[in-house]
Structures are given as C-alpha cells and as structure tokens.
Amino acid sequence: MSTQVVVELPDDLYRRAESLAQLTSREVGQVLADAIASSLPLFDDQDGDSTPLIELSDSDVLYLTHLQLPPARDRRLSRLLERQQADTLTEMERSELSALMQVYMHGLLRKAQALAEATRRGLQSSLES
C-alpha cells in the first residue's frame, strides 16, 4: 500500500533527483521515495532497541557503543553496494539495499547516541582528544 503525497521541492533538488532517476533508469518518484526511506530512521520496536538511552544500564550503553551489523547482513550489504556501483542491481535488490541501508543507518545513529551517553556518564573519555 502507498500514499500519494504532494511535495513542493526546490528546483535544484528536483533536477538532482531527475538526473539520478535518468542515470538509474527509474522514475523520479521512486528515487525520491528511496531517498526519503533511507533518510528516515525506523521508530518501531522490532529490535527491542527503542528504550531511551538514559534508561539503560551502564553496561547496556557500553554494549551499544560497539554495535555493528551482524556479519551476514554486513556481507550482503557490501555485495549489494558493489552491484549498485556496477549498475547491475535488480529492482528487488534495490529494495533490499534500501532496507539494509535503513537498518545500517539506524544502527549507526543508535551507536552514536550511545557513545554520547557513555561520554556524558563518564564511562569513556571524550572522542575529541
């Protein structure tokens, strides 16, 4: 299911989306939908990680500072990125890549927040040394 939305874009942004659509042989709407999907974090509780960091124990915060994609997902993401670079992605792979990038970005955001919280709590030194 999808919802149609009317959005006013600056001309230069639309031209960039249009250029990317032409380069990837896709519709501008698909390019914009993928860009929005990859830039918005997931806010559901599928992974059980929606607990505010301030409520987590010190050990849980430190655990999150080392968060990484599971090896199988990381390898798949790398393969899909290589195929994207070679311009050989299928539509299904493009969707899979978009979903994996969303998971990756969500994890990266959670890790960054955990690093900030660990520093705030004095669990580790500041990264700005």
pTM score, whole prediction: 0.61
Task: Tell me the pLDDT of the chain averaged across its residues.
Answer: 87
Let me know: does 114 contact 65? Beta carbons within 8 Å: yes
In this structure, what token pair is assigned to residue 71? 């090896």
pLDDT tens digit sequence for 55-111: 999 999 999 999 999 999 999 999 999 999 999 998 888 888 988 888 898 899 999
More confident position, 129 or 117? 117
**pLDDT score at 42:** 53
**pLDDT score at 41:** 56
Nearest of 87, 66, 89, 65 to residue 76 by alpha carbon: 89
Nearest of 103, 79, 102 to residue 90 by alpha carbon: 79
Percent above pLDDT 90 for the chain: 61
Confidence of residue 40 (pLDDT cuts 50, 70, 90): low
